[in-house]
Structure 1
Amino acid sequence: MRAGVDVGPTNTDAALVTRDGRVVATAKVPSAPEDPVAGVRAALGRLPRHELDGVAVGLRGAATAVTRRAGLRRVAVLRICGRSASAVRPLSGWPADLRAAVEAGAAIVDGGGGLGPEDRVPLDREAVRRFAGAVAGRAEAVAVVGLFAPLDGEQEREAAAIVRAELGEIPISLSADLGTIGLLERENATVLDAALSGFAAAVADGLAAALAELCPAAAVFVTRGDGTLMSLAYLARHPGLSLGSGPASVLRGAGALTGLADAVVADVGARRIRVGALAGGFPEVAVGGAEIGGVPIGVGLPGLIRVPRPFDPAELAEAVDRLQPAAGRLPLVVVGGGADAVPGGLHPEHGRTAGAIGAAVSPVGGQYERIVRLPDRSALPAATEAVAEEARAAAVRAGADPRHVEIIEVTDTPLAYLPGPFVRLRARAAGPPSPL
């Protein structure tokens, strides 16, 4: 048996599910907005007692912390690029209240891997030390962002080591771990990742303590924005990956309950309806990049259209139409606590707790993205396999069983605007949770 929990703004849902996806029992309790762990404990307490080998929790707390500007750590931002990318300063364009809640200083220092060895600019180590000294006592976390980190993250790691030597064991987020191309979006995501480190540590510790008491034999996971899971330790290291966690769980649950890999899903809540799409069994990400709290970020989040309640049927129909593919028409699946208010579409059994079911049946995931320079197209298979292997390793680090990890997606995109044969390679891997 595995249990899934979805911590929503109004209710916290729980579901007991067998390994083959059969729903045994569900429960729904009021959420405790300031204490998500208490909601998890209460919801699991309403399920029949069973020996569990895993518990997966869908969290919306990270997104709530950003939108409410609460529970965020103050972050110092170090950008490694020199003059080549210094026209727009870190945190430029952020909403004033979010910037005030997060900012603890910023610096731009010389360095950068460059497009090739001949373009490499040495890291200004002394400038990194001065940065660390300037933010000491103010910064609660640090974000390190290198201009060419998607090609080579070595200078980010070197800078992080210098900062840690100066400031001690402070949380440090590296943009190379996020892997997206656009500098500003990647930087924004890295800053939010660092800002959420306190939230993630508190939730991870709270869930570990609560579930060790309730189900001591169960491995504990948290859902992430791409519809897969990660361990509590992985959440503590990469808290930004939990952004979009709740909606992704709902989309996965809608697919599991209907057996559909491709569908449009309407999640009907007490205050609004969120409409998203499933593609290949996983959430379709926002086209053109995601935004949270007024900040564009380089992390893939489910693409959602929000319809306020009480809703206009024409407005809901328009949202559904906007998510339909160009060819054919996908079925509409209606789930959530207020699903009865929408008469059309498929209403699966247990749809009121789709988020909890989606968390329970999701695999553990990992992904890896890099820009590589190829001498010719014949080198593409070897480069692709190397990126796929890194994705497999990322899934194992997130808590997947290494014996059963599979590649679920590989893409290669030529980058025509860079000199030379550069290709953006991206791989995603997934597997069942590790029994250890």
Structure 2
Amino acid sequence: MGRWCTARRRAGTRRARPSVTARPALTGPVALGAAVLVLATSAALPGATARAADGLDSAGASTGYDFAGDAVRIAGARATAGAEPLEAGATYRSTLPRSGVLYYRLELDDASDAYVSVTAVPGADGELTAVDGIRVSMQDADGGSCSVQSATFGAARSPRPVTAWGLREIDSGANRCQDPGTYYVGVERTRPQDSPPDDWDLELTAATEPRPRQTDATEAPRTWDSASPEPLPGEPEHRPGGNGFAHATPVGQGVWRDDIRPGETLYYKVPVDWGRQVYATAELAGSADASGYATGALRLALHNPVRGEVDDAAKGYTGRPTTVGLAPLPPVAYPNRYATAGQVGALRFAGEYYVVIHLAAQVADDFGQGPFGVTLRLRLGGAARTGPDYAGESRPKGLFEISAQDRAAATPASADLAMKAVAVGGIGTGSLLLLGLAVWTATARRRA
């Protein structure tokens, strides 16, 4: 359990439409099909529409981060005695003051690993230090420590969402945190004396992972293909990034492009199966004014399905084209959890991984407000394998699985729209789309 106790630093005018004549209005089933198509299309573009209410902080100001629309408001307690409960599978919103520890409560069994992620969103105007950030701890009812992890803003000192996670693992060789019962999650700032005075908004998620029915592996793999492949070639396809974990844009292997402004953070999610490796690089376009320097300006990070950070990399910016890439990572495998290295241990399950790109706010000082073009090159190595035979369901259900919908959502934009609608909008919207299209097609054929 001690391997989790080391803190890691890595946080216009619309043109008028031309008139169209001699075109009949859509009626009856045809109108229904068209309406369904529009509905499903809007549901299939997760990065295209922002929820204004989700991106407001406790004072009503914009945070630049889109919180989950279904997040439950919850208040952290100053002591464990008054801690409110977190339910596995749910998402919550809270606020973190400058000083003190806030506590939340979990009820756990003795057969599941449990994970709580906490994303803190500071205000855009506060002055931050490199070691400022959040610390997340988990403890049992007797105060025994299960895990401690920190996430800081790093050398760029740029206000951005920072995420740390706490966990309770079932381990036959451990002495603490193995019993069923009440557990507590503590959240605090890492450097309160130097932190901005305003409250930070929090987004919390809780999840549980059942144990396998049988497993023979009790050690992490010691070797893997650690060679860095050539960055994926090809022309980038425009794919706007989301503004939060809950609104991350689905992508797969490919080359993706978007625009980013100083201080902005883009979120993408990619389905990663058991046995697959993730290789990612981010390229920032040059500036017309190539004079000046911004420390740690371009940051690229990978987070696992429970939002725990796997690894990150950052690079300074001089106004010239800049590329930053993640170090080669091992394939996703259940035994990775037994590793002493945090990067390997975080690659412990399959599911939707998150690729996060941040451009430091300080870039604007020397190079203006942009926007700047950013290209994400994403490659999946290895071969998909069969995962563990879990003895139960995860909460939320399917968190550590790759479904056909996940794969369809990550296909290029030129892929079939109906498949994308099914993937992003869910079975209900997708089924409605297919039904509407079928009715539309049948009606058109009869009239022909």
Report the TM range for the smaller structure's normalisation.
Answer: under 0.3
Structure 1 or 2: more strand by fraction: 2
TM-score of the two chains, using structure 2 as the length reference: 0.25
Query: Which structure has more RCO (C-alpha within 8 Å, separation ≥ 6)?
Result: 2
Structure 1 or 2: more helix by fraction: 1
